[in-house]
Each structure stands twice: as C-alpha cells, then as structure tokens.
Amino acid sequence: MYKPQTSPAGTEFYLKGNMFNFIKRKIFISYHHGNEQKSFDLFKKHFSERFDVFYDNSLERIIQSNNTQYISRKIKEDYIFGSSATIVLCGAETFKRKYVDWEIHATLEYKHALIGVNLPPAFTLLQQNHLLPCRLYDNIVSGYAKWLPTWPTIESLTNSIEEAIQLSKNTKNIKNDSPKMQRNKS
C-alpha cells in the first residue's frame, strides 16, 4: 500500500513509481430533478472520470413514504454517508425543493463539505441575484460552504472540493438550525 502524500494545495495523492494517483473523491450531487436533469447529465459527463459522482435519482420516486423521519434517515444513510462532499447544482427553482433542503441538512449533520454551483440558466434568469436554498446560503455566509458562481473546470472543481473539505473542519460555522422544508414551494 502506498502512503498518501499531500500537495501544497492540500490535495492527497499517492506516489506510484513516477505517477501520481489522486484520491477519487465521492461526491453527492443534489439538484432539482424536474428542471436540472440536463445540467446534472453534463456535470456527470465532464466530472465523473475525476470524481465518483453519484446522486439520489429523485428520492420522491425511490423512497415512497410520507414519514419524514424515515426519509431523513434514508437520505443520511443511503446517500450522504460515505461521501466527501455534497454539490448543490443551483438552478432557477432549486431553492424551492424540499429534498434539496433535506440533503443539505443531512450533509451538515455529517459535517461533510458543501458546495453550491450556479447553473448558467439561473444566472441569466436572475440577473446576477442568486436564489439559493436557504440552508446553503446560510452556510456560505458563515464560511462553512463554498460557492462557485460559474460552471467549474476540472481543475477549479478539484481545488474547490479540497477547499470545501478544509472549510468543513471548522464545524462551529455550521448553520443547520432552521426547520426542514415540509413541502416544495412550487
């Protein structure tokens, strides 16, 4: 087994002969399935070789229950547990989705890294005013979460994930006190 090294930017890698093998971070993607599926597909296409990208595949269809405690537990145990970070793809109506809020809540309970990515259609529609899920916004303002105002490159996303992991070590900045959304806003 190879001993992990750390780059100056804090990224862990393994030295194998003359080659570097970077840790393939497991990333959970939260997004509005009805509106942002194309953005997710593009994200997965561009970044899945570098990251272990996974997502909830629309919890409303998978977890057919009205029991909020059960749903919250399933999100934590089956989707957030084991990930390094949650990336929230923020489109024009993402802030209205209760499961996005619940996924952010579970991420914060596990004290995992949290990143918001602005999707270009949202930026255009909102004329530079971002409507973010409240829980994500609170954690960006507190310094716990990271915000990416533009679509990332592989290098910028890699750096942002590592920065967010470092930010997540400062758990006193977590803002997770507000009640979870009980229904979608539209």
DSSP string spanning 82-105?
Answer: T-SEEEEEE-TTGGG-HHHHHHHH
In the chain, where the domains are located: 24-173
CA 8 to chain CA centroid, nearest Å: 24
Res 82: pLDDT: 83
- Name every residue whose Cβ is closer than 8 Å to that of residue 129 and which is 6 or more positions away in sequence: none
For 84-96, the pLDDT digits (tens) are 999 999 988 899 9
pTM value is: 0.81
For 150-174, the pLDDT digits (tens) are 899 999 999 999 999 999 999 999 9
Q: Are 150 and 118 in contact (CB under 8 A)?
A: yes
Side chain identity at 124, as an amino acid letter?
A: T
Question: Strands, E, within the chain: which ranges?
Answer: 4-6, 12-16, 19-22, 26-30, 52-55, 85-90, 113-118, 146-148
Res 36: pLDDT: 86
Reported confidence tier of residue 1, pLDDT bands at 50, 70, 90: very low
What mean pLDDT do residues 136-162 have? Answer: 94
Q: Are 91 and 133 in contact (CB under 8 A)?
A: no
Q: How far apart are CA 143 and CA 10, in angstroms?
A: 18
At 180 the three-state DSSP class reads coil
Res 67: pLDDT: 75
Res 136: pLDDT: 96
- Look-up: residue for tokens 């579970």? 106
Res 54: pLDDT: 65
Given a cut of 60, whether residue 8 has pLDDT beyond it is no
Reported confidence tier of residue 22, pLDDT bands at 50, 70, 90: low
For 96-123, the pLDDT digits (tens) are 999 899 999 999 999 999 999 998 755 4
Question: CATH: 3.40.50.2300, 1.10.150.120, 3.40.50.11740, 3.40.50.300. Which one for 24-173?
Answer: 3.40.50.2300
Q: Are 172 and 163 in contact (CB under 8 A)?
A: no
